[in-house]
């Protein structure tokens, strides 16, 4: 066999091996393959996707403070129930003072105004978010963007995210994820179909599986590579969205 023929076979073999390797990685969810069409909308989750808590909340101190109002949260069951209640209530609040008022109303307590303000100041000081470093990579993506979160609008807007994306919280949708209606209302408002939408989130059960069942393309953001075999496409950085969009 001539040297030229051997070289052609070698090059062809290397090319095929490269294609197989790329395909294998796509199957494993390590390398995202581009969607079949350019989406009209990218829908982002907020907490864990675009931003993270800048410091752990000192809930022990918080629970201790609540004792002054006759509210005792001690058992693991009570703490878990409180965490769910806290998250659900936050989405409806217009600021920390409003949250504090609603909080005491739900618990049937009527403390003095100054105590409500004190709780609001505590929360404002201890519950804060910061953007992930890779968020800057998505600001200029040439696709309409929106944020769907159970968090409060004032929390999201404190990071300036309203400048690049429409924000949808429980106040706008009237529903919480994973309720399918929470996903469909932003699409209806923006006049976009599920099949024209990519959703990016960090929670499979709350963010991605419900959206995928509605016909959206779901992408898991897993910066620490905790989920080895994701049932949807996976990225380790938001910067990878450019590749998915073919940019």
Check if the beta carbon of residue 44 is closer than 8 Å to that of residue 135. no
pLDDT digits (tens, 9 = 90+) for 170-185: 999 999 999 999 999 9
136 and 238 co-located in one domain:
yes
Mean pLDDT of 189-208: 97
Which pLDDT band holds residue 14 (cuts at 50, 70, 90)?
very low
pLDDT of 37 > 50? The answer is: yes
Domain total of the chain: 2
Of the three residues 68, 101, 127, the one that is the final residue of a domain is: 127
Higher-confidence residue of 231 and 11: namely 231
Which residues make Cβ contacts (< 8 Å) with residue 47, sequence separation at least 6? 53, 129, 149, 151
Chain centroid to CA 106: how far? 27
145 and 123 co-located in one domain:
no
- Separation of alpha carbons 195 and 40, rounded Å: 9
Check if the beta carbon of residue 60 is closer than 8 Å to that of residue 51. no
Of the three residues 127, 148, 176, the one that is the final residue of a domain is: 127
Task: With respect to residue 29, please indicate whether it lies within any of the assigned structural domains.
Answer: no
Check if the beta carbon of residue 37 is closer than 8 Å to that of residue 198. no
Mean pLDDT of 94-104: 93
97 phi/psi in degrees, rounded to 5: -70, -45
Check if the beta carbon of residue 221 is closer than 8 Å to that of residue 201. yes
138 and 149 co-located in one domain:
yes
Note down the domain range covering 203. Answer: 36-52+130-244
Q: What is the pTM of this model?
A: 0.80
**Closest residue by Cα to residue 170 from 159, 154, 158:** 154
- Separation of alpha carbons 203 and 48, rounded Å: 8
- Separation of alpha carbons 5 and 16, rounded Å: 17
Q: Which helix (H) or strand (E) holds 202?
A: none
pLDDT of 167 > 50? The answer is: yes
> Is the Cα torsion angle 29, 34, 36, 40 positive or negative in sign?
positive
HSE-CB at 228 with a 13 A cutoff on CA atoms is 0
pLDDT digits (tens, 9 = 90+) for 141-164: 999 999 999 999 999 999 999 999
Task: With respect to residue 93, please indicate whether it lies within any of the assigned structural domains.
Answer: yes
47 and 117 co-located in one domain:
no
81 and 188 co-located in one domain:
no
- Separation of alpha carbons 183 and 210, rounded Å: 8
């Amino acid at each position: 066999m001539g040297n030229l023929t051997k070289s052609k076979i070698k090059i062809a073999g290397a090319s095929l091996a490269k294609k197989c390797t790329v395909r294998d990685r796509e199957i494993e969810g390590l390398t995202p393959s581009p969607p079949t069409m350019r989406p009209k909308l990218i829908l982002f989750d907020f907490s864990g996707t675009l931003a993270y808590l800048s410091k752990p909340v000192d809930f022990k101190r918080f629970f201790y403070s609540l004792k002054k109002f006759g509210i005792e949260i001690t058992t693991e069951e009570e703490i878990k129930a409180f965490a769910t209640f806290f998250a659900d209530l936050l989405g409806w609040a217009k600021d920390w003072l409003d949250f504090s008022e609603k909080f005491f109303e739900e618990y049937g307590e009527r403390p003095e105004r100054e105590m409500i303000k004190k709780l609001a100041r505590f929360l404002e000081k201890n519950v804060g978010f910061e953007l992930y470093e890779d968020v800057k990579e998505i600001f200029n993506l040439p696709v309409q963007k929106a944020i769907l979160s159970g968090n409060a609008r004032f929390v999201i807007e404190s990071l300036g995210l309203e400048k690049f994306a429409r924000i949808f919280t429980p106040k706008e949708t009237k529903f919480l994820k994973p309720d399918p209606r929470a996903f469909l209302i932003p699409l209806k408002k923006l006049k976009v179909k599920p099949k024209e939408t990519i959703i990016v989130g960090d929670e499979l059960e709350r963010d991605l599986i419900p959206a995928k069942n509605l016909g959206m393309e779901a992408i898991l953001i897993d910066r620490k590579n905790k989920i080895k075999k994701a049932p949807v496409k996976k990225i380790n950085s938001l910067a990878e969205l450019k590749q998915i969009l073919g940019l």
